Amino acid sequence: MVIFFIPEFLILSRNRILILGGLMIAYFIPPSGKESIIPIGIGLGIPWWLMALTLTLLDVITSLFMIMNFALMLRVPDSVLD
């Protein structure tokens, strides 16, 4: 993730980087998704390709986290999940 942010400092201003970070956090709140976060980011002045790339990267990182911890999830008793 850090490798992703270093080039952003060359592309965007500090204020836009903070906006992008806030949108990345908002992406994980259930009612918001790609359909709302990408247009909001574009409206706030972030390039469309950067918004799409950022959210794709978040999805990939989340998926990798779930895949790598799936064995742990299988060991959780059913009574805890109900």
Task: Tell whether the model's pLDDT for residue 2 goes beyond 80.
Answer: no
Q: Are 32 and 26 in contact (CB under 8 A)?
A: yes
E-assigned strand segments in the chain: none
Q: In the predicted model, is pLDDT for residue 51 greater than 80?
A: yes
HSE of 8 in the Cβ direction (CA atoms, 13 Å)? 20
Average pLDDT of the residues in 7-33: 86
Distance, in Å, from the CA atom of 14 to the CA atom of 36, rounded to the nearest integer, reads 23
The pLDDT of residue 79: 72
User: What six digits make up the tokens of 36?
Assistant: 């709302």
Number of other residues whose CB lies within 10 A of the CB of residue 42: 14
